[in-house]
A and B are shown apart, each in its own frame.
Chain A
């Protein structure tokens, strides 16, 4: 063991040891550092949470192409069948992978999911690309195996439901490597020469391997391109294929497809019959209505006297109402008049006149009384006053022999001789009568 080795010798020994020991191993791990150079080889690192190992998938083995239909993905958990290889120039070792399988799901399933995601992203499954399945096809193309239960079911059901549509079968293998190319060719043939209104691609159910042709990418693209509506009827209720997604209509089974593509003949015939009856009945009713209406009009047209009678009745009615109204009005007026008379009587002036008369009488009486009293008083006062007056009267003095001398010119009473001048005329009033005199001599006192 103390022999001195060159590096090459050592690595050669390691290579021999390792490659002998790990000639064929199964390793599981996660794909990372995935690289695909132009060479076509695939390089990646297989790792778990504590360790990692380099791995390569050589193109020349063809194993990658042939034995794995899915694509390796970063982070994918895989199980690799591999052998260990030591690369002498670098003293490095790596796994040379011979086959790989995704962990969890199978390789086919993984491939299916990847293709589905890709085509979906491309829009091949978009609703807006779906063509309408004709309501009543006259000629139906069926791509399937010409033997077996599937074609029998389709023929039976279409015959039972709708026995007047022609069927054109494009026979193909529905399993194995040749199936997909044959189906693609059949699709093209039916489009170019089939003169069909709809194409059904049918196959009974099976394992994922069995229905693999219907997950073929080229077939999916051919269906997408088809100018004629395509119905996919592959597998059973729960199995979906790429074909199902890209087709214009997906039927869960071939029998269901047969039901979907043709209408029920009996139903249609019945429907048309019912519509016919309804239409006849509708027209009949329409005619009867018209007849009835004409009859009605005729009836009403027949006797104009009915009109007159109506008018007369109307007139009488109005007359009666007028009379009543008139009576009523008259009565109202009478009543009102009575009321007014009554009120007028209450307002009569005769009562007031008598009242005033009494008042006037009283006033007259008062006036008389008053006046008589005052007259008596005045009479008494007059008598008294005249007695006084009589006693004061100049006439009385004159009676006693006195006279009154007045200036003839001024009429003034002369009370002293100084007021007189000689030659002046004076008037002398006596108790009875008067006379004029002329002053001759004035003697002073």
Chain B
């Protein structure tokens, strides 16, 4: 699940940063980690910068459920 990945990715990023800051990483490994870190940042940022949220309502009976836009959303700013 993507949502789980986000938290894992964030943890991984923190890990990478800590290792890179410690300074005992060989240069080629540091470069590799940097590339991976950038990838994670792109992934996380994309998750956070998705389009505006939708607010909907689940209506109807069990066998004829439908999703409708929630009208009250505008009142909520």
* Chain A residues within 8 Å of B, Cβ to Cβ: 134-138, 141, 146-147, 151-152, 155-156, 159, 163-171, 185-186, 188-190, 192-194, 197, 265, 268-269, 271-272, 275-276, 278-279, 281-283, 285-287, 289-290
Contacts and interface: CB of A to CB of B under 8 A. Distances in A.
A152 B72 contact: yes
Main secondary structure of the interface of B (DSSP, over half): helix
Contacts of B25: 286
Given A279-B16, A287-B27, 5 more contacts: A152-B76, A166-B56, A169-B56, A282-B20, A282-B23
A159 B52 CA distance: 10
Contact of A272 (B2, B10, B20): B10
Given A147-B72, A189-B62, A279-B17, A164 B50 contact: yes
Given A137-B3, A197-B3, A283 B56 contact: no
B70 A167 contact: yes
Contact of B73 (A136, A155, A269, A272): A155
Interface residues of B, number: 46
10 contacts: A138-B2, A152-B72, A188-B62, A268-B10, A269-B48, A272-B41, A282-B21, A283-B30, A286-B20, A286-B30
Contacts of B3: 134-138, 197
Interface string B16-55: 1100110101010011001001100100110111111111
Contacts, number: 131
B57 A168 contact: yes
A319 B10 CA distance: 66
Given A168-B67, A169-B70, A194-B58, A163 B21 contact: no
Contacts of A192: 62, 65
Contacts of A271: 10
Contacts of B53: 159, 163-167
Contacts of A282: 17, 20-21, 23, 30
A169 B76 CA distance: 14
Nearest to A269: B48
Interface of B: 1-4, 6-7, 10, 13-14, 16-17, 20-21, 23, 25, 27, 30-31, 34, 37-38, 41, 44-45, 47-59, 62, 65, 67, 70, 72-73, 75-77
Contacts of B57: 146, 168-171
A345 to B, nearest CB: 76
Nearest to A153: B76
A44 B15 CA distance: 68
B7 A135 contact: yes
Given A135-B7, A156-B77, A268-B48, A169 B13 contact: no
Contacts of A136: 3, 6-7, 47
A279 B37 contact: yes
B58 A168 contact: yes
A332 B62 CA distance: 115
Contacts of B62: 185, 188-189, 192
Closest 3 CB pairs of A and B: A282-B20, A135-B7, A155-B76
Contacts of B38: 276, 279
A164 B6 contact: no
A159 B72 contact: no
A188 B55 CA distance: 20
Nearest to A164: B50
Given A272-B44, A275-B13, A171 B49 contact: no
